[in-house]
Amino acid sequence: MSAHRATETRLTADELGGWRGLLRVQSTLLRELDAELITAHALPLRSYEVLLMLEDAPGRRLRMTGLSRSVLLSPSGVTRLVDRLEREGFVDRERCPDDGRGFFAVLTDAGARRVQEARVTHLAGVRRLFLDRLSPADLRNLSVAWERVVPGASGSDDEWRRSAARAGTPDDCQGGFGDA
């Protein structure tokens, strides 16, 4: 690990390479994976992520606030995306019975079929563009590094949502946080 000094005005070559590399790799991979899903399934990557999170959630539903944390979108961004997925018949909304301001996004059967169809394309892209280029040791090292930077980042989506809930933003209907 490099020594970090708050007063330094430039990054070292290694620091800059690590930081820029992270940003460039993420941007490139997301762009390429998105293009593959759109071409093969008319489904943007963000939409696939939402459908996948709902497929994996208990009862195939998540509170909108929890969904926004899971797919790393702002609450307004996830609302717009769920609006589109609802128009396409892939998601329904259910009002939270204990909190009239909150909603759940619920995966429909059509949404489940779409995510299943797209999964093969997506996983093939993830393997070809990322996983196959790294050794098992590289992948373990990345997971360790992500955990140092953001604890819970390399864990399951359920663990990620639970850590966010512990931070004060619950996924259930008891939390009093309105969402659209």
In this prediction, residues 114-130 reach a mean pLDDT of 97
Q: Which residue has the higher pLDDT, 78 or 171?
A: 78
pLDDT in tens, 162-178: 665 555 444 455 443 34
Average pLDDT of the residues of the chain: 87
CA distance 79 to 64: 8
Q: 28-37, 50-59, 157-166: which has the minimum mean pLDDT? A: 157-166
CA distances in angstroms from 29 to 69, 102, 178, listed in the order given = 20, 34, 34
Task: Identify the pLDDT of residue 177.
Answer: 39
Cβ contacts of 139 within 8 Å, gap of 6 or more? 131
pLDDT band with cut points at 50, 70 and 90 for residue 17 = very high
b/e sequence 119-148, b meaning 16+ C-beta within 10 Å? eebbeebeeeebeeeeeeeeeeeeeeeeee
Look up residue 47 and give its amino acid.
S
Q: Please report how many Cα atoms fall inside a 13 Å half-sphere around the Cα of residue 134, on the Cβ side.
A: 13
In this prediction, residues 58-80 reach a mean pLDDT of 87
The whole model's pTM is what?
0.82
pLDDT band with cut points at 50, 70 and 90 for residue 14 = very high
How long a stretch of residues is the chain? 180
Task: Identify the pLDDT of residue 175.
Answer: 44
In this prediction, residues 72-83 reach a mean pLDDT of 89
pLDDT for 156 beyond 80: no
Closest listed residue to residue 107, CA positions, set 62, 71, 73, 68: 62
In this prediction, residues 91-110 reach a mean pLDDT of 90
Q: Which residue has the higher pLDDT, 143 or 6?
A: 143
